[in-house]
Structures are given as C-alpha cells and as structure tokens.
Amino acid sequence: MTESTKPELDQTRRRLVQGIGAGLALPALGVSPAIIAAPTARPWITDGVQSGDVLADRAVIWSRCDRPARLVVEWDTSSGFNNARRMVSPVTDERLDFTARIDLRGLPSDQSIFYRASFEDARDHARSEPWKVIAADMPIGLHVPDGKDAAGRARWEAIANGQDGPAAGRELEIAELLGYLRKYRVRNTVWLTADVHYCAAHHYHPNRALFQDFDPFWEFVAGPLNAGSFGPNPLDATFGPELVFQKAPAYANASPYAGFQFFGEVEIDSRSGALSVTLRDIDGASVFSKTLEPQHA
C-alpha cells in the first residue's frame, strides 16, 4: 500500500465511524444487534480514529474510548464492506488511558483500503457467554517447589509462594485479575489447570482467603497425559482454596503404568447452561465429577 493509497476517511465516513462507536443502530450497514442498549451503556469514541505507520502491506489503526473496551476494526478494499475482515484488540482500560490499537498486516498492495472502527464494552463481551473458561498451565493455590536459588531461598515454579500470606510475587498478577473480574461482575469463571502430575478439584472462596477481593470459583487439575506421577502438593492460603478432591500416587514418580494418569472432560448442557467437569483416569473411568449451574448477573 503506497502513501497515495493509505487508509483514509472522508468526513461523512468519519462521522459514521463515530456513530458506530457511540452505539447507534445503522440498518444501512447491516448493523442489527440482538440487544439494543441505551447509548450511554456503550463505549464512546472520545478522540476520533487515527491511522498511521503506513507501509506497503500494513497500517496501524488506533482510537480512544471512555471505558474498558475492545477496539474492533473492519477493513475491506470496497466501501461496501462485502468481504470485510474483522480484527479485535485486547481490552484497554484506565492503565492505558482507554486507548487501543490494531496493527493491520497483510494488506493488499496498490489498493485503497476502507475501514471502520468501533468499541465493544469489555464487560458486555465477557458476560455474553455463560461460562468463561481460563486455561492455566499450573494451579493457583498449590505449592510447586523448584529447588533453591544461589542464596538458599526457595524457588517456586507456579504461582503460590509458600507464605500463606497476602498476595506477593506472581500472586499479585492473579489478585489483579480476580479483582478485575469481580469489579466488572464477570461471573461463571472456571479454571482448568494441569502439570502437577495428579488430579484434584479446588474451590476458592474469599471467606477463607487472605486476599478477599474476588468471587468464589472452581479450579480443576489434571495432567500431564503420560508422565511420572507425583503429589499431592500442599495448599497455599492466599486465595482461600479448599481441597474438595484429589487422587495421587502413594510415592513420587510413579510409573504411568501404575494407573495415576488423569485427564478432564467438560460438557455444557445446551438447555440449562450447566457446566459439568469430569476427571477421568487412564482407563476413562470417572474419579470425580462436579456440575456447576450458571449464575446470572
């Protein structure tokens, strides 16, 4: 894309972009939301939409809104947007001054590029589905030691630091995430984790925790699929986990042939929205199952 064909908007289209950002319904563009919220309930574009860093096959689009949201950019080589490509940014919030950017790559050379931008409210996006499944390589509240450093201090492979106190170290990132979910009422989060070589089910509740700015949630542990078996590991009290179930070998590094290999299965009922997690052994037999009913805001 040459400088002469960089993305550009005439004043009519710029107003159109701002209208989308303000949450106006625009049937002429095929915008037909299933739920029409009041304009004040949707993000506003506060400082227009900018383009820059134009090269032969890429350009950067950025904008600013008035609340935590995701920037959505659609682009096409036709002003009719009949074959529009859609890109969504990560969530922007007060830490980024509510600004967001999207790097458009792989643009066709020597063609005019038309684009339109809007913001999706981060809370509405997150709450649009009943369940929000968070996949993490290791559990939040288990001590997973990793030897000692040169000074003889304990090192930790996962999140917990063995102190059973206020959030510190890597725990601060989890505390920030959990606090964000509670602040914006993102319900029905489930954590699926692995890599401690046995299976378990943990329930986290602020009433048991030293850090308490979060809503209760479940964490299910299983995996790896084929490795020596270890555990069980002690719990860390920072986020208030309760051991509901665990199955582990009687000795460390048990062979996979000993039968302590586990995997998880998740099913969601299409009618009720209930989510069921089943932990299974190497033969596929269920060793633990839990059904969670969705909470409605």
Task: Give the whole-angstrom CA distance, residue 101 versus residue 73.
Answer: 9
Share of the chain above pLDDT 90, in %: 57
Among candidates 50, 45, 77, 48, which has minimal Cα distance to 61?
Answer: 50
Domains and CATH numbers, the chain: 3-126 (2.60.40.380), 132-292 (no CATH)
pLDDT tens digit sequence for 154-170: 999 999 999 999 999 99
For 134-197, give the DSSP string.
EE-SS-SSB--EEEE-TTS-EEESSS--S--SS--TTHHHHHHHHHHHHHTT---EEEEE--SS
Confidence of residue 297 (pLDDT cuts 50, 70, 90): low
Which residues touch 131 (CB under 8 Å, ≥6 apart)?
Answer: 188, 189, 190, 268, 273, 275, 294
Whether 1 contacts 113, CB under 8 Å: yes
Task: Give the whole-angstrom CA distance, residue 197 versus residue 201.
Answer: 13
Amino acid identity for residue 251 in this structure: Y
The arithmetic mean of pLDDT across residues 42-61, rounded, is 85
Instruction: Report the mean per-residue pLDDT for the chain.
Output: 83
Predicted local confidence at residue 270, as pLDDT: 75
Which residues touch 151 (CB under 8 Å, ≥6 apart)?
Answer: none
Whether 73 contacts 97, CB under 8 Å: no
Predicted local confidence at residue 23, as pLDDT: 26
Confidence of residue 36 (pLDDT cuts 50, 70, 90): very low
Which residues touch 96 (CB under 8 Å, ≥6 apart)?
Answer: none
Helix (H/G/I), strand (E/B), else coil: 122: helix
Highest mean pLDDT, choosing among 35-49, 122-136, 228-242: 228-242
Whether 70 contacts 122, CB under 8 Å: yes
Predicted local confidence at residue 99, as pLDDT: 94
Judge whether residue 56 has pLDDT over 50. yes
Judge whether residue 37 has pLDDT over 50. no
The arithmetic mean of pLDDT across residues 94-113, rounded, is 89
Between 127 and 19, residue with greater pLDDT = 127
Judge whether residue 273 has pLDDT over 80. yes
Task: Give the whole-angstrom CA distance, residue 165 versus residue 111.
Answer: 59
Predicted local confidence at residue 123, as pLDDT: 73
Question: pTM to 2 decimals?
Answer: 0.61
Predicted local confidence at residue 272, as pLDDT: 85
Judge whether residue 14 has pLDDT over 90. no
Task: Give the whole-angstrom CA distance, residue 248 versus residue 37.
Answer: 50
Confidence of residue 27 (pLDDT cuts 50, 70, 90): very low
Predicted local confidence at residue 40, as pLDDT: 57
